[in-house]
């Protein structure tokens, strides 16, 4: 069964608690939080103080996607807050293994995120140590961009290597590409503008499930 993870990037940031409650009622499985630092990506969003507040508003699993230059500075704090899923980008961390273990020792599901141009082969050696892989299907930094179909073959390659690992796809996800993403082996769909860009969150979430 695919899990639907709405991205709060497309939410009304002046009403976060209300938006989260609406997403819970609409059947969201996970809440996806995009942390951007203005260095790794050309945009700024939120950090641990706001995430800590968000944690108190929901019992849904939280999925923190770190699009930052120094993810190692935040991992222990996110574990302490009680975040369920945390991913950081392969492209910016020289010692991936070390940081993955910081997460795992903190009781967090550990994921590596890959930009569209990064080959999946770059993380094959550590796949057995990961809980999930986040495959970007847009270049990170903004919501509402067009989906890049190159992600389909990346899902297939990871699935061939590992049948257990969770595969999350993020960027431009909608009801047109969701069936093929699920068929290829993706089990977590992140969607921002597709879900929150419509008043009826429940209808949008349901339309992403097979």
- Contact positions vs Zn ion (CB under 5 A): 34, 65, 170
Is 37 an active-site residue?
Answer: no
CB of 93 to ligand DX5, least distance (A): 17
Is 12 an active-site residue?
Answer: no
Tokens of 199: 């008043």
Packed helices 16-25 and 201-208: angle between N→C axes, nearest 10 degrees: 50
CB of 200 to ligand DX5, least distance (A): 16
Q: Which stretch binds ligand DX5 (CB under 6 A): 47-55, 96-104, 168-176, 177-185?
A: 168-176
For residues 31 and 63, is the Cβ–Cβ distance under 8 A?
A: yes
CB of 102 to Zn ion, least distance (A): 20
Burial bucket for residue 186 (CB in 10 Å: 0-12, 13-18, 19+)? buried
Tokens of 181: 């993403």
Closest CA to 193 of 43, 11, 3: 11
Q: Is 172 in the site for ligand DX5 (CB under 6 A)?
A: yes
Between residues 22 and 65, which has the closer beta carbon with respect to ligand DX5?
65
Catalytic residue chosen out of the listed positions 63, 73, 170, 200: 170
Cα–Cα distance for residue pair 66/113, rounded to 1 Å: 9
Q: Is 10 in the site for ligand DX5 (CB under 6 A)?
A: yes
Q: Which active-site residues does the annotation give?
A: 34, 170
């Amino acid at each position: 069964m695919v899990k639907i993870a709405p991205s709060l990037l497309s939410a009304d940031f002046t009403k976060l608690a209300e938006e989260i409650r609406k997403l819970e009622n609409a059947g969201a499985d996970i809440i996806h939080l995009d942390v951007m630092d203005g260095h790794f990506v050309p945009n700024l969003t939120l950090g641990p103080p706001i995430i800590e507040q968000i944690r108190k508003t929901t019992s849904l699993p939280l999925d923190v996607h770190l699009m930052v230059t120094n993810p190692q500075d935040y991992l222990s704090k996110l574990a302490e807050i009680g975040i369920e899923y945390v991913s950081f980008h392969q492209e910016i961390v020289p010692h991936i293994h070390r940081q993955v273990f910081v997460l795992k020792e903190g009781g967090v599901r550990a994921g590596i995120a890959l930009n569209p141009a990064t080959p999946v082969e770059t993380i094959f050696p550590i796949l057995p140590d990961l809980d999930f892989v986040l495959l970007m299907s847009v270049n990170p930094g903004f919501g509402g961009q067009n989906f890049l179909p190159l992600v389909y073959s990346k899902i297939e390659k990871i699935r061939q290597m590992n049948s257990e690992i969770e595969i999350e796809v993020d960027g431009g996800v909608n009801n047109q590409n969701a069936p093929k993403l699920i068929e290829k082996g993706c089990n977590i769909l992140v969607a921002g503008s597709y879900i929150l860009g419509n008043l009826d969150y429940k209808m949008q979430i349901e339309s992403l499930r097979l």
